Amino acid sequence: MQKYNVNQNGFYGEFGGAYIPEILYDNVENLKHTYRKVLEDPQFQKEYYDLLRDYVGRPSPLYLAKRLSEKYGCKIYLKREDLNHTGAHKINNTIGQILLAQRMGKTRIIAETGAGQHGVATATVCALMNMECIVYMGATDVERQKLNAEKMKMLGAKVVPVTSGNMTLKDATNEAIRDWCSHPSDTYYIIGSTVGPHPYPDMVARLQSVISEEIRKQLLEKEGRENPDYLIACVGGGSNAAGTIYHFLDEPSVNIILAEAAGKGIDSGESAATIHLGKLGIIHGSRTLLMQSEDGQIEEPYSISAGLDYPGIGPMHAHLAQSGRSEVLAVTDDEAIDQAFELTKLEGIIPAIESAHALGVLGKKKFRSEDVVVICLSGRGDKDMETYVNEQKKRK
Ligand SMILES: *Cc1c(COP(=O)(O)O)cnc(C)c1O
């Protein structure tokens, strides 16, 4: 899989690498030399897959959405990551990384979070493994996402509100990196998406690749073939998308369509459409596309969905888009909201607002009746009820 996968130096084409402060060099080198060995170790795999089965509830179902299929004139399957423990795909990754942290002898876990989903998934596995957990969260986000902040505290994590910058995800990430620099020996940093310095993007993609591993088996059972015609996922940093496409990257017959958040429109100045609007730069340790001003200042992104509201994009996805392996569509707030209501009405499933962006692709493409389309339903909509209620009021 060399063509689309990370190379020896941690690059996907011209994207990726590890641009880190000197003090973290040993840590990141150590991680780089350890992660593959651990992830491929049978003992690790047994513990990881046992927990995925008994604790997370995997395999997640691949559900043939009949009424949705009828509406769009093709065969649509939903990969139900929304049914995982903690309500999204993020737990697949945090389980893997905490097992790795244990094996590396680390005792203190740090993480950053925006909407709080990764923070909750991290606090959850720290409770499970009895590890100290510190989660950095922008003060604005602590306010906006009270329930998740409270969940983390109940799970035993220390939530540190970050008051620098815009007090959102980007600032929380800076603070987490600062913490890591001051405690390099005992601390493990659990990154929540396919972002950050090498080897994180590759490690997170591998830990999420259980999604495509299952899709292959489930499609073979249901359709008599492993490959779908289309795979669709939303991209924030890119982890649910990476997991969904991982085992299909070298299958040219599988079309990959990813949805990024257009916010109020890609030309509105209020968007998080990084692949459409981003330029080459370095963010959080990796060389990738990012939204920046003329003089290279990172621009504050906007999306109705907190999980897609990130000014960068995982280097793997920058490369897949640039090389033409993936097609990236920008889906607006309004389109995503429409899709969330539609899925709820047609299938009785309230999706996360992030996942509703993936559903937004359905209205933008023409499918043939025999096409098999798999959409990653990355999370459930409980956390977004306030948004949905407000939008419903606005529309009346
Ligand atoms: C965090 C999140 C995302 C975005 O993160 P990726 O790393 O791009 O997958 C998407 N959907 C849900 C439900 C999330 O919680």
| Higher pLDDT, residue 254 or 144 | 254
The answer to whether residue 90 is catalytic is yes
Is 75 known to be catalytic? no
**What is the arithmetic mean of pLDDT over 36-46?**
98
> Under 8 Å CB-to-CB from 324, ≥6 apart: which residues?
none
DSSP state of 248: G
Rounded CA separation 91/118 (Å): 8
Q: What is the pLDDT of residue 240?
A: 98
Instruction: Give the pLDDT of residue 145.
Output: 87
Give me the mean pLDDT over the 368-377 stretch: 98
CA 328 to chain centre: 15
Residue recorded with tokens 């200042």: 297
For residue 393, report the distance from its CA to the centre of ligand 1, in Å.
26
Q: What local confidence, expressed as pLDDT, does residue 267 receive?
A: 95
Predicted confidence band at 310 (pLDDT cuts at 50, 70, 90)?
Answer: confident
Pocket test for ligand 1, best of 193, 231, 258 (most atoms within 8 A of CB): 193
Reported as a pLDDT band with limits 50, 70 and 90, residue 281 is very high
Using CA positions, which residue lies closest to atom 7 of ligand 1? 239
Residue from 80, 97, 354 to probe ligand 1 pocket by mutation (most atoms less than 8 Å from CB): 354
| Cα–Cα distance for residue pair 239/344, rounded to 1 Å | 24
Ligand 1 cavity residues, CB under 6 Å: 88, 90, 117, 193, 234-241, 307-308, 352, 354-355, 378-379
Q: Which helix (H) or strand (E) holds 25?
A: helix 25-39
At residue 165, the pLDDT reads: 86
Q: Of the listed 60, 79, 81, 90, which one is catalytic?
A: 90
Is 112 among the catalytic positions? Answer: yes
How many Å apart are CA 153 and CA 185, to the nearest integer?
Answer: 25
Q: Out of 81, 112, 175, 214, which one is annotated catalytic?
A: 112
Residue-wise pLDDT for 222-240, tens only, equals 999 999 999 999 999 999 9
Above 80 in pLDDT, residue 1?
A: no
pLDDT at 374: 99
Average pLDDT over the chain, rounded to an integer? 96
Q: How far apart are CA 316 and CA 303, in angstroms?
A: 22
- pLDDT, tens only, 126-176: 999 999 999 999 998 898 889 999 999 999 999 999 999 888 888 999 999
Phi, psi of 8 (to 5 degrees): -50, -35
Q: What is the mean pLDDT of residues 330-336?
A: 98
Ligand 1 midpoint to CA 221 (Å): 28
Average pLDDT over residues 243-265: 98
How far apart CA 374 and CA 138 sit, in angstroms, is 34
pLDDT tens by residue, 177-201? 999 999 999 999 999 999 999 999 9
> Which atom of ligand 1 lies at the shortest distance from residue 114's CA?
1
Convert 320-364 into a string of H (helix), E (strand) and C (coil).
HHHCCCEEEEEEEHHHHHHHHHHHHHHHCCCECHHHHHHHHHHHH
What's the pLDDT band for 2 if we cut at 50, 70, 90?
A: low
Neighbours of 390 (CB within 10 A): 12
Residue 309, pLDDT score: 86
pLDDT classification of 328: cutoffs 50, 70, 90: very high
Could you give the CA distance from residue 380 to residue 391 in angstroms, rounded to a whole number? 17
Give me the domains of the chain, ranges plus CATH numbers.
19-51+90-203 (3.40.50.1100), 57-88+209-395 (3.40.50.1100)
Strands 62-64 and 75-80: antiparallel
Amino acid at 336: A
Supply 132's token pair.
């100290």
* Mutation test residue for ligand 1: of 85, 90, 122, 210, the one with most atoms within 8 Å of CB: 90
Q: Which atom of ligand 1 is nearest to the CA of 242?
A: 9
Q: Specify the length of the chain in residues.
A: 396
Give the number of the atom of ligand 1 that is nearest the alpha carbon of residue 118: 1
Using one digit for the tens of pLDDT, what is the confidence trace for 60-98? 999 999 999 999 999 999 999 999 999 999 999 999 999
Going from the Cα of 22 to the center of ligand 1, the distance in angstroms, rounded, reads 30
| Half-sphere exposure of residue 196: CA atoms within 13 angstroms, side-chain side | 24
